[in-house]
A = this chain, B = another copy of it.
Amino acid sequence: MLISETTIDVRYPDCDRMGIVHHSVYAIWYEIARMDFFAKMGFSFSDADALGINPPMVDLHMQYRSPVTYPGQVTVKTSIVSYAPKKLELRYETWYNGNIVAEATTFHIWTGPDMKSFNMEENLPEIYEKIKAAAE
Contacts and interface: CB of A to CB of B under 8 A. Distances in A.
B17 A70 contact: yes
A23 B61 CA distance: 12
Interface string A75-93: 0000000000000000000
Contact of A24 (B18, B27, B65, B71): B27
Main secondary structure on A side of the interface with B: mixed
A63 interface: yes
A13 B18 contact: no
A135 interface: no
Contacts of A22: 12-13
Contact of A16 (B13, B24, B35): B13
A31 interface: yes
A23 B108 CA distance: 12
A31 B13 CA distance: 9
A62 interface: yes
A2 to B, nearest CB: 20
A40 to B, nearest CB: 14
A108 to B, nearest CB: 10
A32 interface: yes
B28 A11 contact: yes
In the A-B complex, the 3 residue pairs with the closest CB atoms: A24-B27, A15-B17, A17-B19
